[in-house]
Amino acid sequence: MAVEQGKEGLAPVGGEIRVEQTPVREAAVEAGREVVNELEELGELEGKRVQTEAAPSPTAVQAVQRVIAAPKDRMVQEIESVLSEGLEELYKQLSPEERTKFKAKGEETARTLRDLLSQTKINAVKVLRAISDWLKVLSDRANKFYLEQEAKIKTDKLILLAEAERREGENAVA
């Protein structure tokens, strides 16, 4: 994905990810000046002299970055919905690290499946293999044969979904 550098920070080309940068240095310097001024005033009021040293200013500008993911297209959402069906109990058994890994692999699989299902000729073996590879993350939590069965069921549902999408597209054009 291409990203262009602009005045405001990074802007996406293609609309997938937007990164906003918020300068922090100016706010920190201003807050530091206010604290020094308050300390000097307190020192003068109490008759004590407060010595202040100018802190060396950092050469690099610090920035806080927020990554905002672009909304998923409808097809990816439907694929993720089909993939997640019936796996709620297994997902609850996973540790937080395993959940993160499983979710990331699932999102990657959904994008791969979107590409496979949008082709003119759908290769069911590749779809089944992609789903099986994703479900292997759960291999220590579920029976191997159960996972194979789930992969086959999800493959069939996704192929039907792709065919329905294709018919909708043809009806919209006609």
Same structural domain for residues 51 and 126?
A: no
Domain span at residue 23?
3-68
Question: Looking at residue 15, what DSSP letter applies?
Answer: S
Asked whether residue 167 carries a pLDDT value surpassing 80, the answer given is yes
Same structural domain for residues 35 and 90?
A: no
Same structural domain for residues 58 and 14?
A: yes
**Model pTM greater than 0.85?**
no
Same structural domain for residues 76 and 135?
A: yes
Residue 83: Cβ-neighbour burial (10 angstroms; 0-12, 13-18, 19+): buried
Residue 148's DSSP bridge partners are: none
Domain boundary (18, 53, 68) is at 68
% the chain with pLDDT above 70: 58
Same structural domain for residues 36 and 107?
A: no
Mean pLDDT of the chain, nearest integer: 77
Summarize the confidence of residues 136-155 as an average pLDDT. 93
Same structural domain for residues 42 and 93?
A: no
Same structural domain for residues 50 and 109?
A: no
Summarize the confidence of residues 7-23 as an average pLDDT. 49
Q: What is the pLDDT of residues 19-72, one digit of tens each?
A: 444 455 555 556 666 766 666 666 654 555 545 455 555 555 555 566 565 567
Q: What is the pLDDT of residues 69-91, one digit of tens each?
A: 556 788 999 999 999 999 999 99
% the chain with pLDDT above 90: 47
Same structural domain for residues 90 and 103?
A: yes
The whole-angstrom separation of Cα 128 and Cα 26 is 54
Q: How far is CA 41 from the centre of its chain?
A: 49
Which segment of 38-42, 102-106, 111-115 scores lowest on mean pLDDT?
38-42
Name the domain count of the chain. Answer: 2
Asked whether residue 120 carries a pLDDT value surpassing 80, the answer given is yes
Domain boundary (27, 53, 68) is at 68
Same structural domain for residues 52 and 88?
A: no
Same structural domain for residues 82 and 94?
A: yes
